[in-house]
Amino acid sequence: MAKGFGRVQKRRQALEKSKDRLSELNAIIPWAVFRSCLEQLRPPERKSNAGRKPIDQLMLFKLLILQQLYNLSDEELEYQTHDRTSFRRFLGLSPEAEVPDAKTIWLFRQRLTEAGLIEELFQQFEQYLQTAGYEAKGGQIIDATIIPVPVQRNSREENKQIKNGEIPAEWKEEPDKLAQKDVDARWTKKNGKSYYGYKNHINVDVAHGFIRQHSVTDAAVHDSQELDIVLDPDNADDEVWADSAYRSEEIERTLEIEGYESQIHEKANRNSPLSEEQKAANREKSQTRAKVEHVFGCWVTSMGGKMVRCIGLERVSAYLGLKDLTFNLKRYVFWQKREKSQAQCV
C-alpha cells in the first residue's frame, strides 16, 4: 500500500510540474511591484478589533489574476480555490486556511474599479517592463476585438430611450430590474453578422508583443475612432500597423504630422479595386500585423475566451483591464523562460 501510494504521489507531482503554469507565474512575476499601488486602497473601516484580520490585498489581487487566467465567475473562483491545490499554492494559502468568499472578491474588484486603480496597476507593470529591458520598440500594431455580451430583451421604445442616454421610467421604479440591464452595450456588424456588446482596443509593440495601450468602448464605436487614444508615443520606432478599417486620408495625414510612418492596409473602394501591387503590399504588412492576433488567440485558447461576467462600461473596462494585464504577465513569463533557455544553450 505504501509503495503504491508513493507512486501515485510521484505521478501527481510530475503531472503538476508539467501542467502547473501558476508555479511559473509565482516564481517569475515580481508581485511586489504591485503592492504600493494596492496599498492606496485602504481596507474598509472595522467596527472593532474582534474577528479575523483583514485579508492581504496582494493575495486578493492574485485571486483576480486567477479569475482572468481561467475566466471564472466569483462563485466558481471561490470553489476552485477551495478545491485545487495549485490555486492555494499560488495564493500562499495552507490547506486549512480560509478562502475569501465570492462577495469579498466582488467587493475588492469593485473597490479597485471605483478608485481607478486597475489602470494604475496596468501602468505599474508597464513601467516595470520598461526598466527590465522590455521597452516598447519595433513599431506598434493597433487592433480591436468585439466583446459580446448577452442580448438585452427590451422593447423598441426602451432601446430608443437607452440610445438617447435615458433610463426608462419603469426601470427606475424597479431597482432590481435596472441592476440587470446593460445600458452601455451597443450593436455592431462585422462580416455581415450582428454583435451586441463592447470593443477592446489594444496597442501591441512589435518587438516584444506586450499590450502597451488599451481602451474599451461600446461595440458601435468604429475602430478608427480610438486610434489617437491607443497610439503609444513611447514606442522607440515610428511604424504603425493596422488593418484597412483604420485607413482614411485624415488618419494618414494625422500620422504623418505626428511623425509616424503608416503601415496601415490599403482599402479597396466600390469602384476602385486594389491593384496587384497594393495586394502584395498588404500581404507583406500582414506578416507583422498578424502578431496582434496572438493576443486575442491567447484569450480564446488559454484564458477561457472573451466572455465578461459584468455589465456596464465602467465594470467591463475594469474587467478587460485586468485581462490585458494578465496577458502581459503571461507574456513576461514567456520572455523570461525564453531568455533562460537561450542562456543555457550558449
Burial of 31 (0-12, 13-18, 19+ CB in 10 A): middle
Q: 26: which residues sit within 8 A by CB, 6+ positions away?
A: 89, 90
CA distance 93 to 286: 46
More confidently predicted of 144 and 13: 144
More confidently predicted of 272 and 254: 254
185 has pLDDT over 70: yes
Q: 96: which residues sit within 8 A by CB, 6+ positions away?
A: none
Render the burial of 248-285: b for 16+ CB within 10 Å, e for the rest.
Answer: eeebeeebeeeebebbbbeeeeeeeebeeeeeeebeeb
158 has pLDDT over 90: no
3 has pLDDT over 90: no
The stretch 47-64 carries a mean pLDDT of: 81
Predicted local distance difference test score (pLDDT) of residue 51: 55
Strands (E), the chain: 140-148, 186-190, 193-205, 211-218, 239-242, 261-264
Length of the chain: 346
Locate the domains of the chain by residue range: 2-44+53-115, 119-149+185-345
The stretch 303-311 carries a mean pLDDT of: 89
Tell me which of 39-43, 189-193, 297-301 is least confident: 39-43
State which H helix or E strand residue 268 sits in: none
Triad 324, 282, 203: Cα angle to 5°: 15
What value does the CA radius of gyration of the chain take, rounded to a whole number of Å? Answer: 23
- Which candidate, 57, 69, 64, places its Cα nearest to that of 23? 69
Cα dihedral 213/218/224/225 (nearest 10)? -90
Q: 248: which residues sit within 8 A by CB, 6+ positions away?
A: 224
Q: 212: which residues sit within 8 A by CB, 6+ positions away?
A: 126, 136, 140, 203, 204, 205, 232, 234, 235
Please check whether residue 29 is in contact with residue 332, taking contact to mean a CB–CB distance below 8 angstroms: yes
Query: For the chain, what is the total number of helices (H) and then of strands (E)?
Result: 16, 6
49 has pLDDT over 80: no
Neighbours of 64 (CB within 10 A): 22
CA distance 342 to 163: 54
Question: Which architecture characterizes domain 119-149+185-345 according to CATH?
Answer: 2-Layer Sandwich (3.30)
64 has pLDDT over 70: yes
The stretch 191-203 carries a mean pLDDT of: 93
More confidently predicted of 345 and 117: 117
Q: Supply the DSSP symbol for 153.
A: -
CA distance 79 to 12: 21
